[in-house]
Structure 1
Amino acid sequence: MFCISDIRNVLYLSFIYLPTRLKACFLYCSLFPEDYLFKRKQLVRLWLAEGFIEERGESTLEEVAEGYLKELIYRNMLQLVDRNDFGRMKKFRMHDILRELAVDLCQKNCFGVTDENKCRGPHQKDVRRLVLQKLKDDIQQPFSNMHQLRTIITLGDSKSSFTVLPLLCNESRYMTVLELSGLPIEKIPDAIGDLFNLRHLGLRGSKVKMLPKSVKNLSNLLTLDLYESDINELPSWIVKLKKLRHLFAQKTIDPTWREFASCSGVRIHNGLGNLINLQTLQALELQDESVRHLGELRQLRSLRLLNMKEIYCGHINKSLVQMLYLSQLTVCASDEDEVLQLNVCLPSLQRLFLRGRLAEGALDESPLFQAVGGQNLYSLCLYWSQLREDPLPSLSRLSNLTGVHFTRAYNGEQLTFLTGWFPKLKVLCLIDLPNLNRLVIQEGAMTSLEKLYLVNLSSMTEVPPGIEFLMPLQNLAFWEITRDFLMLLHQCSAIQGTQWQHTLRH
């Protein structure tokens, strides 16, 4: 029989023989709390900022980092927990015993510590990285040896106003990562501009309304995360941050995403074309000046555009063609009457989110929705498209789709899924389709479906014929239905023995 100490020894041996390029990344993960769920993109950005990733061939640093992540999972150093709809790794965690070993090594080598290990106070010497979990109160005493700190990360539902931040900016001049997401911070000190080595600044969910002008001095900044902060407009000097790779600056207005104006972005008035290293831009409020220079951002992988107008479409189409690596695209019209005319082939596109009216015949005529142009398209979300003709015959050509989401996208009365259509579809959401009274599913359609959500289909008076061909499903939900429809569901033999959810319409 093996005892715990034997297992530890075996794990320790497997750990010490890790290639150096993987060891630092793995130790870094141990700084986070036990059972912490890592997100792939979040961790990749942090590894880049820490300088763990070296260039390899023509691959981007992000691609190299994902390779390291895959190798750690292959070696069982990290446990894969969840994949996205099209199979890409999404969330993962550390094994408890491996984490304990890594934590010991981190502390012995002053690599870093987590708050649960009582890292604050004068007893902790020369620690370079500090992860703080669920700060409920403000920090009463400064961190010891502040000048040694390279990384500060706060996690969880933190209430601290973090008044130690000005002192950090003055004392920790070599800071590389400052991740303060979720803290109710209202102001960033001017001294932050003195952190010449800062590569990651995270203010997600903070109360910050304005960035100090000194931020323009952060010439090494790779990630600026202002998502759900109170910043609505970026200052003109933001374009001086020429190494910036990831810019998040979107704010949610309607958390259900069912209203037309569900989110807002930021405006960049001049010099957008200087940010040539941007890979992520979420979300940009389009204006005449930014429309003209968008095409210069040729490294973009993920792009969200708001305030789209029909007069911009020509310029936007020409810009998008220049973005050879674009995999995620969101375009939201400025109002319900503006028509989104996106007639462009984007062969690398994997996710497409459109909010606004589509022209008649757009699904048949635009290369976006053609079998060749959309061969890599996995996820399609159409909001407020106001389509009159059944979109399914056109979209059925996109055989790799794993997720389809319609919200106010179709004004017709019937949708029919024919045999052989959407063979890889896993998630189907039909929401707020007021005229839809009949949904037909033939045997052999959507053979991989796992989740079906039907929400506020006010004209539907029968349980969809053929729904039995989809059983069993992981999730089946009928939300905002009438009591009469609920009675039909209880009487329907096709879903008997299947777990399903419902809510009643108010």
Structure 2
Amino acid sequence: MDGNGGIMVSAATGAMNSLLAKLAALLEEDYQMQKGMKREVVFLKDELSSMNALLQRLADAETLDPQTKEWRSQVREMTYDIEDCVDEYLRQLNHGRTQRQSQSAGIMGFIHGYVQKVKDMVAQHDIAEQIQQLKARIVQASNRRKRYKLDSSVNFNSNSKSLVPIDRRLPALYAELDSLVGIDGPSEDIIKLVDDGEKRMKVLSIVGSGGSGKTTLANQVYQKIGDKFDCKAFVSVSQNPDMGMVFRTILYQVKKDEVDRIRSGDKEQVINELRGFLKNQRYFIVIDDIWSTQEWKTIKCSLLENNCGSRILMTTRICTVAKSCSSPCHDLVYELRMLNEDDSKRLFFRRIFGSEDKCPHQLKDISIEIVRKCGGLPLAIISMASLLTTKSYARAEWFKVSDSIGSGLEKNSDVEEMNMILSLSYYDLPHHLRTCLLYLSMFPEDYIIERDCLVRRWVAEGFIKVNGGRTLEEEGECYFNELINRSMMQPVHIQYDGTVYSCRVHDMILDLIISKAMEENFVTIFTDRKQMIVSKDKVHRLSIVNHGQENVALYSRVTTHVRSLNIFRYCEQMPPLSNFPALRMLDLDGNENLESCYLEDVGKLFQLSYLRIKASNISLPEQICELQCLVTLDLLNCIGISKLPASIVKLRHLKWLLVNRVELPDGIGNMQALEFLSLMVVDYSTSISSLQELGTLTKLRTLGLDWRINDFHKEKVTYADIFSSSLGKLSSSNLQYLTLISPWSLDFLLDSWSSPPHLLQRLQITGWYLSKIPVWMASLADLTYLDIEVKVRQETLQILGNFPALQFLNLHSNAASNTERWLTVSNNGFRCLQKLKFVHWMNLMFEEGAMTMLETLEFQIIAHEARDGCGFDPPDLGISNLSALRKLVVDIYCECARVEEVEALEAAIRIAADSASDYFQLEAPLGRHTQGLLRLL
């Protein structure tokens, strides 16, 4: 049995564990409860503990009869109701205790104390009545349990799992999947249809079922021929598109313009700008996942038919949509077929064993049978293979998996049968991972989910259990990695070290988990196209994805018990926050119309532990200090907030404060629970005491500062000394990630940090070129990531090469003279470096055996500086000596340079790259970009 010990909230047991912990706290701590109330609390705790044991056992049952399933549902609902009641009771008790402790002496203090005691008695009487009603429900549930003999009527199976680290083969697996497994033939077919030399605009549609590889195929074509066009874009539409965002995404990708400027324009303005830009351009645009002809007509009005040989490639699941969108020629609808037997086996065996010849002999026949039952659908094959990677090589286990699949796909391939296969992977998850996966139904289709944000939400919901010496956030990352490894989530952004930074949920898996989440009354979703309302009376987690005015009345009926609220699009008719008294998690995502007045009641959400706001031109109320349960405050995407309420420092339990260039508040030392603080501004409005108090935040693991103390102010030395002192204090505690951004000199840090942070793993110092590498950096043995602007000399490379754990280096160079533009990377440093990005490239000579782990090399050259520094004679950069190199990216900034100079520089770089062609593949031909940038890949 997997069990739910340590998890506060889960899909299997509801809020049971959280409730039991609070009942225990009521009995153990010094609360002044009436004697009768204490007896009731003891009864609740004992009876619920017994029910909890059965709930956890029921979670392991393969099937439940309707009677048992209904009992389980009623008990879970009851746990939420009782916890709401207990939370209100605890709040009143704590408030009363605080009032008594703050009473003044004398007659007035006596009067206030007496009044408070009366209030406490009234509150306890009200709560006592509610407890009696809840007690009656518990007794009824207990009687039904005995009457129907639920403890003995269910068969249980034990199936425990252990977490594993993230699969480091993910980047290679996905690359091989795109280019090798059954995709080359279709890719070449489509390229012939797209790249036929005809001048009139053409629209080609790829049609296929969910999970058949339409997006993968479209992306393969896009990567192969996109750079042959003047401009290109790849945009996902999905079922409920924000058409304004679709147009902005296309405009940004084809024009590479300023994000903030494009974001601020209205839809009509963006369409007009897009049409104007595409007028004389030969463009290639991929529109992924179209669901209706109306959406296509709306998009098409922005894409000009200019007879320049432009091409549009779209994907859809629906044949009628494909035919209506494509150019009037049946040959321009490409039906994507399932993988053939050989490609299916190749994909399956590669995911599990690496290749077919590595499959154990005893598993060969059953493996082929499982592949056959997957029916050639790539998503089904990957899902089953991922499930089997967690099994032993015992034939019995593999036969059990095969028998569970049934023979549905032999007859047809509808969504219901696809869900049957995906359900096998779902039910094979440990219970805590099932809960975390179901929670992803809160997000819309094609939503890019950031790992760190998701993990903080899981923590706020109580889904993460304590495990050994890891923090809840670290344990949550393990959950995330496990779901990635099992192919239940798809990686989107993969970092240099193989870490997945963000993910999305495949449409087919999303359909599955939405149905499961609603079946368990775990999540309720509102959209403008359809209202997905559970049959239950109460809603616990509400996601408003894309609503219309007609849904507002429905929202108002379900607010009382909502614990988690996601609003992806705000409207003025939304119920006020005061209507959500049980709210623990609030995420206002992408709400451009959100106004500050909507947040006026946020201080009444006493249980709120997570608040994230993504909006423009809002401010937080001073009442934010009432949120004494708040752990995470994420304002990273709040454009316009430059100052926090003064009362923010009263949030004694806040651990995560994410902001974007906000003033460091006075009294920051009161926030002793802080672990993450970024990005704060330090300027001359910042008090000296705040800088001093910064050094007292001993739990701080991440710190980001925007240093705006200029070099000419008379108090700079004072600020610099105090800041250095605070950094010294933090270095002896838990600091692991440090970001310092400044337009002014940070050279005062070169020698002043007497006790450097021995735990530091990531360091960014940008905005100002340091004159040299700080002395104290030499002791950073755990540093894996470094982003630094510095005057690079030969000794600079020697110092950087000695970092034993460095994996990523983003080096902004500023050479003192042209003679120092020729530097040598020897073979005795940078042993762990995997990615090097060099801004303002100076000619590096790589010796044989240099950077043996380097897979990605990116550098940027300013053409006129290269002309002045070293001319254009083709240098031998020694790139062929980089034995692990797989990717080379070169950016040439062409401003202030003549065309022939840029072409000569390009030729020189290509000669150097061609000499290493046996080691890596140039990923695309030359592409020209706006703003004086030319990119070579």
User: Retained in 2: the 8 A contact 1:181–1:204?
Assistant: yes
Aligned residue for 1:234, secondary structure, equals coil
Letter in 1 for 2:858: L
Deviation of 1:32 after TM superposition, in Å, equals: 2.1
Instruction: Tell me, yes or no, if structure 1 residue 279 matches structure 2 residue 691.
Output: no
Question: Where does 1:30-429 land on structure 2 (aligned, <5 Å)?
Answer: 30-115=441-526, 118=529, 120=531, 126-133=538-545, 141=553, 143=555, 144-155=557-568, 160=570, 162-165=571-574, 167-184=575-592, 185-187=594-596, 188-208=598-618, 210-229=619-638, 230-250=640-660, 264-270=661-667, 272-286=668-682, 287=686, 288-307=688-707, 309-324=719-734, 326-333=735-742, 335-336=744-745, 339-341=748-750, 342-355=753-766, 362-363=773-774, 365-366=775-776, 368=777, 370=778, 373-383=779-789, 385-386=790-791, 390-407=795-812, 409-412=814-817, 413-414=820-821, 415-429=823-837
- Give, in whole Å, the separation in 2 of the partners of 1:223 and 1:359: 34
Residues 133 and 83 of structure 1, relative CA distance in 2, 3 Å threshold? same
Instruction: Tell me, yes or no, if structure 1 residue 493 matches structure 2 residue 911.
Output: yes
User: Retained in 1: the 8 A contact 2:745–2:768?
Assistant: yes
Residues 314 and 147 of structure 1, relative CA distance in 2, 3 Å threshold? same
Given the alignment, which residue of 837, 844, 855 partners 1:449? 855
Residues 488 and 233 of structure 1, relative CA distance in 2, 3 Å threshold? closer
Letter in 1 for 2:582: Y
Residues 344 and 136 of structure 1, relative CA distance in 2, 3 Å threshold? farther
Deviation of 1:293 after TM superposition, in Å, equals: 1.2
More strand by share: 1
Deviation of 1:439 after TM superposition, in Å, equals: 3.1
Residues 277 and 428 of structure 1, relative CA distance in 2, 3 Å threshold? same
User: Retained in 1: the 8 A contact 2:747–2:771?
Assistant: no
Deviation of 1:452 after TM superposition, in Å, equals: 0.9
User: Retained in 2: the 8 A contact 1:439–1:465?
Assistant: no
Residues 327 and 117 of structure 1, relative CA distance in 2, 3 Å threshold? farther
Deviation of 1:47 after TM superposition, in Å, equals: 0.5
Aligned residue for 1:440, secondary structure, equals strand
- Give, in whole Å, the separation in 2 of the partners of 1:45 and 1:392: 38
Aligned residue for 1:398, secondary structure, equals coil
Deviation of 1:7 after TM superposition, in Å, equals: 5.7
With 216-225 and 229-238 compared, the bigger mean Cα shift is at: 229-238
Residues 182 and 98 of structure 1, relative CA distance in 2, 3 Å threshold? closer
In structure 2, the gaps of 5 or more residues are 1-371, 374-408, 710-718
Given the alignment, which residue of 893, 912, 925 partners 1:480? 893
Letter in 1 for 2:538: D
- Give, in whole Å, the separation in 1 of the partners of 2:518 and 2:466: 29
- Give, in whole Å, the separation in 2 of the partners of 1:403 and 1:374: 14
Deviation of 1:243 after TM superposition, in Å, equals: 1.3
Aligned residue for 1:147, secondary structure, equals coil
Letter in 2 for 1:486: E
Deviation of 1:90 after TM superposition, in Å, equals: 1.9
Deviation of 1:11 after TM superposition, in Å, equals: 3.8
Given the alignment, which residue of 845, 863, 866 partners 1:440? 845
With 132-141 and 464-473 compared, the bigger mean Cα shift is at: 132-141
With 308-317 and 182-191 compared, the bigger mean Cα shift is at: 308-317
- Give, in whole Å, the separation in 2 of the partners of 1:375 and 1:457: 37
User: Retained in 1: the 8 A contact 2:772–2:796?
Assistant: no
Residues 49 and 490 of structure 1, relative CA distance in 2, 3 Å threshold? same
TM score, norm. by length of structure 2: 0.47
User: Retained in 2: the 8 A contact 1:333–1:355?
Assistant: yes
In structure 1, the gaps of 5 or more residues are 251-263
User: Retained in 2: the 8 A contact 1:193–1:218?
Assistant: yes
- Give, in whole Å, the separation in 2 of the partners of 1:298 and 1:375: 21
Aligned residue for 1:67, secondary structure, equals helix
Report % sequence identity.
25
With 278-287 and 117-126 compared, the bigger mean Cα shift is at: 117-126
Aligned residue for 1:459, secondary structure, equals helix
How big is each residue's C-alpha offset from its partner over 1:299-337, in whole Å with a ceiling of 9 and x where there is no partner? 22211022265323431332222332x221012346237
Deviation of 1:87 after TM superposition, in Å, equals: 3.0
Letter in 2 for 1:430: F
With 39-48 and 4-13 compared, the bigger mean Cα shift is at: 4-13
With 210-219 and 9-18 compared, the bigger mean Cα shift is at: 9-18
More helix by share: 2
User: Retained in 2: the 8 A contact 1:205–1:227?
Assistant: no
User: Retained in 2: the 8 A contact 1:340–1:356?
Assistant: no
Letter in 2 for 1:269: D
User: Retained in 2: the 8 A contact 1:182–1:206?
Assistant: no
What does residue 379 of structure 2 align with?
Answer: none
Residues 11 and 388 of structure 1, relative CA distance in 2, 3 Å threshold? closer
How big is each residue's C-alpha offset from its partner over 1:95-122, in whole Å with a ceiling of 9 and x where there is no partner? 4443322211111222113445956588
TM score, norm. by length of structure 1: 0.83
* Superposed CA RMSD: 3.2
Deviation of 1:163 after TM superposition, in Å, equals: 1.9
Deviation of 1:432 after TM superposition, in Å, equals: 4.3
User: Retained in 2: the 8 A contact 1:333–1:340?
Assistant: no
- Give, in whole Å, the separation in 1 of the partners of 2:773 and 2:890: 30
Aligned residues: 476
Question: Where does 1:7-46 land on structure 2 (aligned, <5 Å)?
Answer: 8-46=419-457
- Give, in whole Å, the separation in 1 of the partners of 2:772 and 2:649: 39
Residues 359 and 180 of structure 1, relative CA distance in 2, 3 Å threshold? closer
Deviation of 1:123 after TM superposition, in Å, equals: 8.0
- Give, in whole Å, the separation in 2 of the partners of 1:444 and 1:221: 52
Letter in 1 for 2:912: A
Residues 41 and 72 of structure 1, relative CA distance in 2, 3 Å threshold? same
- Give, in whole Å, the separation in 2 of the partners of 1:138 and 1:327: 49
- Give, in whole Å, the separation in 2 of the partners of 1:85 and 1:135: 39
- Give, in whole Å, the separation in 1 of the partners of 2:748 and 2:421: 62
Residues 151 and 119 of structure 1, relative CA distance in 2, 3 Å threshold? farther
Letter in 2 for 1:70: N
Residues 457 and 181 of structure 1, relative CA distance in 2, 3 Å threshold? farther
